[in-house]
Amino acid sequence: MSQHAIWTSFRSLTSDESVKNQRLKSGTIYRIARYATPYRISLIFFLATVMVDAVLVVTSPLLLKRLIDQGVIPSNSEVVTQMALLVGLVALADAVFSLIGRWFSSRIGEGLIFDLRTEVFGHVQRQPLAFFTRTQTGSLISRLNSDVIGAQQAFTSTLSGLLSNTLTLILVIGAMLTLSWQITLLSLILLPIFLIPTKWVGRRLANLTRESFGLNAEMSTTMTERFNVSGALLVALYGNLDSERKAFSTRARKVADIGISIALLQRFFFVALTSIAAIATALAYGVGGWLTINKEITLGTLLAIATLLVRLYGPLTALSNVRVDVMTALVSFERVFEVLDLQPMVKEKSDAKELPYGDLDVSFEDVRFSYPRAEEISLASLEGTAKPEVVDSGEILKGISFLCKPGTLTALVGLSGSGKTTIASLIPRLYDVTAGSIKINSLDVRNLKLANLRSAIGVVTQDAHMFHQSIADNLRYSKPDATESEMQRACEAAAIWDFISSLTNGFETIVGDRGHRLSGGEKQRLAIARLLLKEPRIVILDEATAHLDSENEDLVQKALGNALIGRTSIVIAHRLSTIKAADQIIVLESGAIKEVGTHEELVAKGGLYSDLYDRQVLG
């Protein structure tokens, strides 16, 4: 039996049989067919090469029979030469068709992977922020990698294997029956002896492989969490290095032990298959030899049957588990469709408008908001949780109404959980309001084009995120075509240029994972430079100086002063001393507006704001 045939049998029998019990949703097959439509010509040619290859599998043994019976035995050198040339041409044709088939297969497979990955990636990016707060990143990446690759195999290895094995089996059995029905029946009777031990090995290997994947996933998660800057800092400050090492070592040891078991079972599998195939071949030679001596078959027939026998068990074994192979591919497709079917809660209308040029105002009109439930925004299979979450957030915002006039500064203050960040998230439509409306220049944000709306808004949070790229790359994320002089002007306005110019590599300096090579103040000022480069007409600052020391806060406040000039600004403030100059201060309590006024008015009023301010001053 050839190594390829053994590997085909091994891969088929070690598939996870649990997929057989899964029920596909209606319409899945039709959706899958739609993805094949752009590749239908390539698919036809690919399947044609598979069919030709299956015919060539039978051709060589039949040519061998003629070479022996009509060439070697009667000493006909002309026939020997002709048959030898034909065998060589068949082998060459087999190689050529194999290469052509591989080209079409890779073209179809890689094209499908590209189509599915780009579609899933684009679809995931349109999901609301709440989706990412619930989803395990590793599970989502697995859909883009493992499941997408598993799905494309439906059109390559699974479909071609089904067609090739079926056609090969029909042709091989047909040819063997024509040559000797006795040897053919004997070979088929031996099939259960061939399948029973390999099925047992296959189930055992599938279980071990599944356990190994689980342990490797746990180790991968551990490394991802411990090897980023924040995780490494937490381990250094709170962790026990010995217990960390032992916990990891325990999992690694289990993986190693499983690897040894898998290696031994694989070897047993290959030895068992080759041994049984060898026994079948020996019986064929024994029975065939007896038939040859008795002149019932020719020597060429015997050799042809022995050659065909080698090519019989591989397709038989693969087809015995074809349902698992097909379902594995289809389930992978369904897992990809599961992500694509998760509709974004924030959608753009077909007749969406664009914002007018010039200054912009922002108004909240009786806005109410409750966070969406888990089943509305996520998938349990992506959250890594066994139990569905049914907790209702309740109403976070309760009838919020206020107006931010063009070019003014509005400050939002209140205790933690009062709804400040939620208000900031609703303006760029990271979420949509439950009731009421948010308008910009009298246009409901739900009626605006998303890209146009968000291009007009610049946001700086208390922990500004930076990609593990250069300073220039992080700046250009807000304006891809920004020139170096534009970046320099933005950095000067953000009070970060002196620092950047002092670096050996300047703008090409890598900021590190999440910007951890920068100090808190440097990262915040770089984030402000990124905002300035975008030139937004509305600025939202979510406690941008909350965790900075006084020196860095002074620098950031100076940068913020430049960022807010001439722009409609909404600032969430932790330190009330930084918003004394605000045109209006909105005081929130439990999702409702408690007070509105200037700093002086609210202090003089002696209400909640005055109480909060007094606490900070006394502190």
Whether the model pTM is above 0.75: no
Burial category of 565 from C-beta neighbours within 10 Å (exposed 0-12, middle 13-18, buried 19 and up): exposed
Find out whether 109 and 103 touch, Cβ atoms under 8 Å.
no
- The stretches in the chain having pLDDT less than 70 are 1-25, 136-139, 142, 191, 193-199, 202, 206, 210, 213-214, 217, 233, 237-238, 273, 317, 320-325, 374-393, 545-553, 617-619
User: What is the C-alpha to C-alpha distance for residues 307 and 57, in angstroms, rounded to an integer?
Assistant: 10
Distances (CA, A) of 151 to 24, 50, 160: 14, 20, 14
Q: Which residues contact 274 (CB under 8 A, 6 or more apart)?
A: 1, 6
Q: Residue 604 is encoded by which pair of tokens? A: 């003089």
Find out whether 324 and 19 touch, Cβ atoms under 8 Å.
yes
Angle between helices 313-320 and 191-227 (to 10 degrees): 60
pLDDT in tens, 212-227: 766 776 777 777 777 7
Whole-number pLDDT of residue 244? 81
Whole-number pLDDT of residue 1? 45
Find out whether 574 and 613 touch, Cβ atoms under 8 Å.
no
- List of domains in the chain: 3-340 (1.20.1560.10), 407-427+454-618 (3.40.50.300)
Q: Is the dihedral of CA 318, 319, 321, 323 positive or negative?
A: positive
Q: Residue 151 is encoded by which pair of tokens? A: 């799905």
Burial category of 67 from C-beta neighbours within 10 Å (exposed 0-12, middle 13-18, buried 19 and up): buried
User: What is the C-alpha to C-alpha distance for residues 97 and 86, in angstroms, rounded to an integer?
Assistant: 16
User: What is the C-alpha to C-alpha distance for residues 239 and 259, in angstroms, rounded to an integer?
Assistant: 30
Closest of 319, 292, 318, 315 to residue 305, by C-alpha: 292
Closest of 562, 572, 363 to residue 461, by C-alpha: 572
Closest of 277, 266, 265 to residue 317, by C-alpha: 277
- Paired residues of 74 in beta bridges: none
Half-sphere exposure of 604 (CA within 13 A, CB side): 5
Whole-number pLDDT of residue 427? 93
Angle between helices 241-293 and 3-13 (to 10 degrees): 120
* φ, ψ of residue 466 in degrees (nearest 5): -125, 140
User: What is the C-alpha to C-alpha distance for residues 133 and 397, in angstroms, rounded to an integer?
Assistant: 20
Closest of 83, 49, 87 to residue 68, by C-alpha: 83
Residue with tokens 């087999």: 94
Whole-number pLDDT of residue 553? 67
Give Cα 200 distance to the centre of its chain.
33
Whole-number pLDDT of residue 437? 94
Q: Which residues contact 561 (CB under 8 A, 6 or more apart)?
A: none
For residues 555, 560, 565, 567, the Cα torsion angle rounded to the nearest 10 degrees is: 170
User: What is the C-alpha to C-alpha distance for residues 31 and 46, in angstroms, rounded to an integer?
Assistant: 21
Whole-number pLDDT of residue 325? 67
- Paired residues of 589 in beta bridges: 592
SS (H, E, C) 148-186: HHHHHCHHHHHHHHHHHHHHHHHHHHHHHHHHCHHHHHH
User: What is the C-alpha to C-alpha distance for residues 240 and 507, in angstroms, rounded to an integer?
Assistant: 39
Q: Which residues contact 509 (CB under 8 A, 6 or more apart)?
A: 470, 471, 500, 503, 517
| DSSP code, position 239 | -
Q: What share of the chain is helix, strand, coil (3-state, %, to 5)?
A: 65, 10, 25
> DSSP 3-state assignment of 26?
coil
pLDDT in tens, 363-378: 999 999 988 776 666 6
Closest of 590, 606, 564 to residue 411, by C-alpha: 564
Q: Which residues contact 602 (CB under 8 A, 6 or more apart)?
A: 585, 587, 595, 609, 610, 613
User: What is the C-alpha to C-alpha distance for residues 67 and 81, in angstroms, rounded to an integer?
Assistant: 9
Whole-number pLDDT of residue 42? 87
Distances (CA, A) of 276 to 280, 314, 321, 564: 6, 12, 19, 80
